[in-house]
Each structure stands twice: as C-alpha cells, then as structure tokens.
Structure 1
C-alpha cells in the first residue's frame, strides 16, 4: 500500500510507537506526524490526501474548534481514531500494534467503496471477507435509535419527536429518572408528539414506529436475531450511578453488530459517551445535542471528547441527515 498516512498524537512516545507500527506494516506508505490540534487543522485544511490515524488524547488535551470538528467529520472512512481506556494508565500500544494494521486496510477498502473503485488492489479483501473486515464494510440501514438523556433531555426529546415522522425508526430512550417517573414521562412524550410511546420494564420485541422509554432503575441489553428482529432484555445492574445506563445499552448493540444511530442529549456526567464512541467506531452515525443548547452540557461534551467527529444537533432544528435516518422503516420478520 502506498497511501500517505498522517499520525496525529500529542506525545512523542505515542508518535514514535505508531510510526514504528505503521512503518513495519506498510513500508511503502509515506508517513508524517503532527502533535497539536492546530497543526492537525492546518494539515486538513491543506487537503491531506491520505489516511489520518488520530490518538484521541490529542483532542482531549485541548478544546477543538468547530472547524476542526467539521474537518474530521468530512474525512469519513479515512479517519482512524485510537481510543483509550481511562481506567488503564498509559497508551495501549500493544492493542494498537495488534489492531491498527487491519484497521488501516479496512479504511482503505471503505474509502474505495465510497468512491466506487479500488485505488489499492492489494488490500481488497478476499471473498468472503475476513471477520475483521466484515463489520466495517457491511453497509446496512439503521435498525433503531439509541438515546442517552438526563437533566434537560426530556424537553429536547419532546422537541425532536414533534419533528420526526410517525411510524418509522424505533427509538430506545435511556432517560435518567426514578422508576416511579418513567411511565408518566412516556405518556407525556406520547401526548406532545403523537408517537406511540411506552415504558419498557421487561423483555420486549421492537417494532417500527414505536418509542420505548426504559424503566427507571433498570439496565437493558439489546440483541438481534439473524432475521433482524430486535429485542430488549433487562440485565443485571452495571457498575454505574445511572440506571437505565445508556453506555451499556449502546455497547451491547455495538458488540452484537446491530446497526444503530446514537444520540446523546443534555445531562450531567458522561453516560452515553463511551457507548456512542463504540457505535461510532463500528461506523454507525453518532449525534450529540449542541452543548450551547443544553441545560447541562456534560454528557454531550463527554461524547464529543470520546468521539470528536460526532455531529452536533439542535433539537429545535434537527439536521436533515438525522431526520432522514429517523424516517427509515426497518424490515421486520
């Protein structure tokens, strides 16, 4: 492969390690580096033609400008974000060495798909595709929308649902609320939006056009049959102060390979950030409420830190791409 690769990492150790990993895997690819958000923005504005390998710590160390967010979003499949586990000290170089070469090959293939040709024939996957390539190259419509919501989220949800067609993509809402409040909240959303909204407290098969509010105090997992049927199931409480837990819900979807749109609304803390990042890394659409419109911007801000190229959404004027995704009606068996 001869594609140029730009390594964006704040630390000299990280840049050196990534350079070594990529040089060994792709000896014919020109490699370059940058170490600040401003340097990265300058390279992107100069229309860098290759792949971008971005250590998320570079973004976390600063406040990215809207221009940088927009540039990263436009990079599409050429952007490879290296996430970190905050509970583990130091950069996960071992995981990078194991996973990064395959992710680069997958990014080249995805870019070839997006332009309708194979610019790098040597990285075209065999038929059938290896398991490591299959999840990213499988282009399917979303099956559901997963929502993380807390303080300030109910009003944002009411405004959004009033602008979304009835009878389309099912929504699953993880609203941080006591168990005695979610049934009334579901009834309120139904009244103000005209959608079919119900509280979910047990195993439930999802249907098109329905909005599901997870019962307060419980956590849920999402599964999918080979035929595409989605089912919500209660699960043991996860280690978090927030229940229903949006991170866990989204992560179960990502692990199961379920095509889902992620939406993180106003709220305190970071619930939804890791889950949205997991879905985004699996090439699913990720939206966050524009922090300036939030009553409490903690959750959307955390999601932007974990997944800096998520799209920002004003609940009063949602993006056309969001409305279009929510208008899709999944097939049901």
Structure 2
C-alpha cells in the first residue's frame, strides 16, 4: 500500500491530535506529520514529500499565504485550511486559493463540524488539479538584500571546545551571537560562565525574551527548543517552542528556519556535533540568500552535523575555525551587507 504523506499543522495540540485521529480512522494509507509552528511546517515542507497539508489559520499570522504556498513540495490546491477563529477573517484570495473548513461556530472551536467536513474536503482535494500557488510581490524579502543582523551557531559533541576557540578568534562581535549547544537544562548556565571566563566576552544564558545586543553572546537554555522572531519595534526575540520527535535540544533546525521564515538576515555556523541537526534549517536559510559556514570535518570531534549540513546545503562554506572567524568579521564589518554572492569571500 502506497502511503500518502499528510502535514497537520496547528499550534493547538488538541486540534492536531483530533485531526490525526480522524485521518487514521478514515484512511489507513495516510501517513501524518505534525507541526506546531510555522517554522516546523516549513521544515517538513522543505523535504518536498508532503501530498496534502491541513493547516490551522492561526499559523498564517507567522507564515504568509504566499510564503507557505511557495514552500517546496506544497501545492496550494492540495491544502485544507481550518478556519478556527484565531486569526483575522480570511481574505477572499485565500479562500479562492485553499479549500477552507469553517471549524469555528459562534466563537467556539467545533470539532464536530470539522469532523463532518473533513471527508468531503479530502475527496474535493483528490479531484482538484495540481497547481502551485504563485508567490506575490508582498512575500517577505529574501535576506540576500539585507545587512546581516545576527549570527546563529549550532554545536553538539565537541562543540564547547570549538565554540571557545571560535569566540576567542572573533573577539567583540559587531552582531549578537546566539548559540544552540546541545546540552541538558542544568548545564547551560555553567557552560555560559565557562565561556565567559575562557574568552573574556560577556556571555548570557537565556530561556526566551529579547536577544541581548552585541557583543553579548547568548547561550540558549538547554533541554528546550527555540525559534527567533521580530518584535513590533524590530527587536529580535527568542520564543520557546517544541518540535515533534526532536531528540537534541536546543534544536538548531528550528532556530535557523525560524530566522529565514521571519525574514531575519542571519549568518549560520554549524560546529562539531553528532547527528544532522542544523542541516535542514541551514538549507531553508540558504534558500533565502543567507550564508552558512561549517567547521572543517577533520577538526571536529564528531563531524556528523557539519557533514550533514554541507550535504544538504552545497552552498555552505567548509572552513577552519580561524577562517570562519575571519569570514564572520568580514561579512559583518563595513561593506559586509551583501549576503549573497562571492564578493569578499
């Protein structure tokens, strides 16, 4: 039996659970993938395997219709949008582009109405022609035309030593640096103090809130995942998040992808580490014009993360820690505002 991959995306765990249960009861051939945020949805869609997407309208506040529909592997004509009353009224062009189920009745989420409408919606999707929704001119700008705003670093096994060496070489960064080091919750505060003592740079552990300005280095609180967003006045903020099936925390894929999704011009660095975290997020970031650097494999304690990132994102630059520091200094200095292209490499 050929399995049909289906994305179920909603910030509501209750809605996701209910939809998944209904799908499995009605069609055994459907394979479900869950996303609790727009960033997670983009990561799943970037793999290009999703056939049907069922999306809570609440995610449209963080992920524009045009961006969502333009994601690899997603056909807007194969998408069911659940109107839950958690976002402004849907514009006519949205209703024309997506098949909509009204799940909100008199201000209350009505799962009965959704359950009744879902089978027919799936049948309607099957009958629809496969046509990709064209992105509009209002989509968020690619980061390639913007000055870099932040440096995001991913690391795991062997990362603490590599990170210490890198920060010493960078010195006082012109941009804020945020570090996603895979580490338990009870160890990151001590790790931040260690980095500060070893490098002479101010290092702060954070579990959310505004990103401290440069030259402060932020170490994300362990055991938790985060996405980065932009506040109403333009400041960068860290928000706690959760990614289904994630083993390593903080998750770099989610951090990197959320920056790209929000239109934040980020420079991504992937250091020594086991596994593949950072690879998919770096690919999303690079697709928007961002630059990605990975630690040369031979110098890693475990080269899994850098190798996976380079395999998924061939535009990434493989470099020594010294070369990474030099490039970051060059790209974030005067004249370093062009992220895309070879000038200044």
TM norm structure 1: 0.58
2:238 is paired with a residue whose SS is strand
1:162 is paired with a residue whose SS is helix
1:173 is paired with a residue whose SS is strand
Alignment correspondent of 1:85: 47
Does residue 278 in structure 1 map to residue 284 in structure 2? yes
Alignment correspondent of 2:174: 168
1:228 is paired with a residue whose SS is coil
Given the superposition, is the C-alpha separation of residues 192 and 257 from structure 1 closer, same or farther in structure 2, using an over 3 Å criterion? Answer: same
Q: 1:206, 1:145 → 2: CA distance?
A: 12
Instruction: Report deviation, 1:324.
Output: 1.9
Q: In the TM superposition, what whole-angstrom CA distance separates every residue of 1:137-173 from its partner, at most 9, and x where no partner exists?
A: 7611111111110001111111111111315211111
Q: In the TM superposition, what whole-angstrom CA distance separates every residue of 1:176-222 from its partner, at most 9, and x where no partner exists?
A: 11111111111111111111101112323431211111111011111
Aligned residues: 214
Given the superposition, is the C-alpha separation of residues 138 and 319 from structure 1 closer, same or farther in structure 2, using an over 3 Å criterion? Answer: closer
Given the superposition, is the C-alpha separation of residues 97 and 279 from structure 1 closer, same or farther in structure 2, using an over 3 Å criterion? Answer: closer
Q: 1:95, 1:144 → 2: CA distance?
A: 26
Unaligned runs of 5+ in 1: 1-82, 100-128
Q: 1:198, 1:227 → 2: CA distance?
A: 23
Alignment correspondent of 1:324: 330
Alignment correspondent of 1:291: 297
Alignment correspondent of 1:178: 184
Q: 1:96, 1:203 → 2: CA distance?
A: 33
Do the aligned partners of 1:199 and 1:213 also contact (CA within 8 Å) in 2?
A: yes
Alignment correspondent of 2:107: none
Do the aligned partners of 1:238 and 1:245 also contact (CA within 8 Å) in 2?
A: no
Q: 2:156, 2:176 → 1: CA distance?
A: 20
Do the aligned partners of 1:262 and 1:276 also contact (CA within 8 Å) in 2?
A: yes
Unaligned runs of 5+ in 2: 1-44, 52-70, 77-135, 337-345
Does residue 131 in structure 1 map to residue 93 in structure 2? no
Instruction: Report deviation, 1:84.
Output: 6.0
Alignment correspondent of 1:244: 250
Do the aligned partners of 2:170 and 2:329 also contact (CA within 8 Å) in 1?
A: yes
2:200 pairs, out of 194, 213, 220, with 194
Alignment correspondent of 2:270: 264
Alignment correspondent of 1:47: none
Given the superposition, is the C-alpha separation of residues 180 and 165 from structure 1 closer, same or farther in structure 2, using an over 3 Å criterion? Answer: same
2:141 is paired with a residue whose SS is helix
Do the aligned partners of 1:146 and 1:173 also contact (CA within 8 Å) in 2?
A: yes
Q: 1:308, 1:297 → 2: CA distance?
A: 16
Instruction: Report deviation, 1:266.
Output: 0.6
Does residue 235 in structure 1 map to residue 197 in structure 2? no
1:192 is paired with a residue whose SS is helix
Q: 1:254, 1:176 → 2: CA distance?
A: 21
